[in-house]
Amino acid sequence: MFVFVIVPELLRKYASSVFDNRLNKWPDIPTILKIFDRIPQIKINVPYMPLTNSHISLFFAILFIYLSHDMSSPILEIISLIFFAYLAYLYQDELFDTFWNSIITLLSFFVIYNLISGIINFVFVETDWNIIWRNRRTLLVGPTFVDPATGHEIWRLWPPFYFLMVLVGAAYGLLGEKKSNFFIPYSIFGIVCLAFLWQEQDYYSGFYDETVSTRNYDPLLSTILLLGGLALGAGCFHLVHSYYKDAEEYRIKYFQNILVSLTIIAFIATILILDPPGDDGVKPSGWGGLVLNLIFASAAIVVGFGVGVCLAFGRRSQLPVFWIPSVAIIELVRSGPLIAWLFFAQILVPDIVNPVWEADIASRVILVLSLFFGCYLAEALRGGLQAIPYGQYEAATALGLSPVQTKLQIELPQAIRTTLPAIVSQMIGMLKDTSLVFFFGIYDAFRVAKDLPAQPDFIGQHEQSLLFVGMIFWILSFYLSKVSRRIEKNLGLGSEGGGEAT
């Protein structure tokens, strides 16, 4: 920075006359980067994403960072810096166009490079991940479905998985895109699941005083069921894509409505399969792992969405019988933190509802999460409702629509379209907030991750389990954000117009 940014700038500004312009050729960073001028620009057209010099350079730069740590070689680290320098050459017009941009670029690169280098070294070189591989099933489904006494009940998790694959395949089939845009990431997902299922490594257990395997189960049956679910999802995508690829829009909308109804039915069926009436099944207190977080988040989002819509319209109503309770509920719930309301569900709700309903802890948590999400959603929707031009109401009245039809068919779609980014942000927040249930002894993914380091072979290894759970939540949140952007694109939010898609 000093030699190739600050010194050239000082020479150009203050020393050119003193040295009779002989030092004006002192090299700066753009001059040094000209050594890459002879490298040809290439572009590799792959079905999912075209690869350019910048993608290839970034890949090899990160690869050589890993190799430099794995082999403890400073030469490989220098090679990675050369690839980053080439990446800087490709974007030099934006990164080094001014003096201050050059300073900011180099400072940012110093921070980012050290951060990436430290993460790669921790994740791929220094850290022992046996704690995750040994307890992978517990992290996903909780201890009840893994315990030898109750592990036979794990079959109850496979029908919901099949429901999910059918719905995902059918939903993506309605988009009408190229099949490769679905099958490539879908195949990657399947390969990752199989690798996660079959990974095996031996390690020395001090507790058992012998070498044990990280895979303490037989993966054959699970592999067959997993491949069946993946094949079912791919088949549903192929059938729906082939049938609705050139279909008229009203038919696609009709099938979308059917999918929404099937999603609700599938969720209810999942609850009944896990905990059917009677003494069979697994009670909600026995659910756990990431599956429990997904159940809580799904239920809270679906139920909370209905609560939010009702509260949003209730707050805008002119009738006191509607807007007074709506305002009271919204302001009361939003005035307290979620953890306080969860304690309320744990301690006080049983005394309130027991004469009418003997609610278990899972039902009480879903009730509180739904109400909390619905109150925040109501305020977001209220902002969208206020942004609707008054001419929309006049047009609806002229068409003879009733007030209910106007609200559900005119106001609500436009409000959702306008506030969709905020709605998705709240959904992501609700997914992450489900980890707060670990305070009440519920074995969600975060609670399992907190308890794993107490095992004799993995005492004190908190970083691995917490980082793994954090990465799972990040992947889910990133997927939701990608789905949100796809919906925004379909609704025309990325450009002018697009209102007819609402």
Whether residues 118 and 192 fall in one domain: no
Whether residues 467 and 372 fall in one domain: yes
Q: Does residue 140 fall inside a structural domain?
A: no
pLDDT score, position 46: 61
Which residues, at least 6 apart from 322, have a Cβ–Cβ distance to it below 8 Å?
A: 313, 314
Whether residues 112 and 191 fall in one domain: no
Query: What pLDDT band is residue 233 in, cutting at 50, 70 and 90?
Result: very high
Q: Does residue 396 fall inside a structural domain?
A: yes
Who wins on pLDDT, 234 or 37?
234
pLDDT tens-digit series, residues 70-91: 998 999 999 999 999 999 999 9
CB 464 within 8 A of CB 128: yes
Q: Does residue 135 fall inside a structural domain?
A: no
How far apart (Å, rounded) are the C-alpha atoms in residues 52 and 268? 47
Q: Does residue 53 fall inside a structural domain?
A: yes
pLDDT tens-digit series, residues 170-215: 999 988 778 888 898 899 999 999 999 999 988 888 877 888 899 9
> Does 357 have pLDDT greater than 60?
yes
Whether residues 330 and 181 fall in one domain: no
> pLDDT exceeding 70 applies to what percent of the chain?
93
How far apart (Å, rounded) are the C-alpha atoms in residues 19 and 251? 78
Residue 123 token pair: 């994740």
Residue 489 token pair: 């694109």
Closest CA to 284 of 194, 209, 363, 230: 363
Query: What pLDDT band is residue 496 in, cutting at 50, 70 and 90?
Result: very low
Number of neighbouring beta carbons within 10 Å of residue 385: 20
CB 174 within 8 A of CB 242: no
Whether residues 291 and 268 fall in one domain: no
Q: Does residue 374 fall inside a structural domain?
A: yes
Place of tokens 């490298």: 39
> Does 58 have pLDDT greater than 80?
yes
Whether residues 378 and 242 fall in one domain: no
Of 1-10, 40-49, 274-283, where does mean pLDDT reach its minimum?
40-49
DSSP at 218? -
pLDDT score, position 497: 45
CATH code for the domain of 318 = 1.10.3720.10
- Mark which of 281, 316, 331 sits at the end of a domain: 281
Closest CA to 416 of 356, 358, 484, 467: 484
Q: Does residue 131 fall inside a structural domain?
A: no
Whether residues 393 and 463 fall in one domain: yes
Whether residues 80 and 112 fall in one domain: yes
Whether residues 258 and 301 fall in one domain: no
> Does 502 have pLDDT greater than 80?
no
How far apart (Å, rounded) are the C-alpha atoms in residues 171 and 178? 14
Cα→Cα distances 133→130, 213, 250, 260, Å? 5, 9, 48, 36
How far apart (Å, rounded) are the C-alpha atoms in residues 385 and 313? 9
Q: Does residue 199 fall inside a structural domain?
A: yes
Specify the 3-state DSSP secondary structure of 89: helix
Who wins on pLDDT, 404 or 501?
404
> pLDDT exceeding 90 applies to what percent of the chain?
40
- Mark which of 236, 256, 281 sits at the end of a domain: 281
Over its C-alpha atoms, the chain yields an Rg (Å, rounded) of 28
pLDDT tens-digit series, residues 403-453: 888 888 888 888 888 888 888 889 999 999 998 888 777 888 988 998 899
Who wins on pLDDT, 49 or 153?
153
pLDDT score, position 21: 58
pLDDT tens-digit series, residues 262-285: 998 998 899 899 988 887 888 888
pLDDT score, position 313: 92
pLDDT score, position 376: 93
Which residues, at least 6 apart from 134, have a Cβ–Cβ distance to it below 8 Å?
A: 214, 216, 457, 458
CB 131 within 8 A of CB 461: yes
Whether residues 340 and 461 fall in one domain: yes
Place of tokens 């919906």: 487
> Does 493 have pLDDT greater than 70?
no
Amino acid identity at 453: P
pTM for this prediction:
0.83
CB 442 within 8 A of CB 285: yes
- Structural domain total, the chain: 3
DSSP at 41? P
Whether residues 309 and 443 fall in one domain: yes
CB 36 within 8 A of CB 89: yes
Listing DSSP states for 92-121 in one string gives HHHHSSSHHHHHHHHHHHHHHHHHHHHHHI
> Does 498 have pLDDT greater than 50?
no
- Mark which of 126, 159, 174 sits at the end of a domain: 126
Residue 391 token pair: 């001419």
How far apart (Å, rounded) are the C-alpha atoms in residues 396 and 412? 13
Closest CA to 448 of 214, 297, 289: 289
Domain span including residue 205: 151-281
Give Cα 37 to chain centroid, integer Å.
40
CB 468 within 8 A of CB 139: yes
Q: Does residue 258 fall inside a structural domain?
A: yes
> Does 353 have pLDDT greater than 90?
no
pLDDT, the chain, mean:
87
Whether residues 224 and 266 fall in one domain: yes
Give Cα 435 to chain centroid, integer Å.
14
pLDDT tens-digit series, residues 84-143: 999 999 999 999 989 999 999 999 999 999 999 999 999 999 888 999 999 999 999 999
> Does 501 have pLDDT greater than 60?
no
How far apart (Å, rounded) are the C-alpha atoms in residues 464 and 214? 15
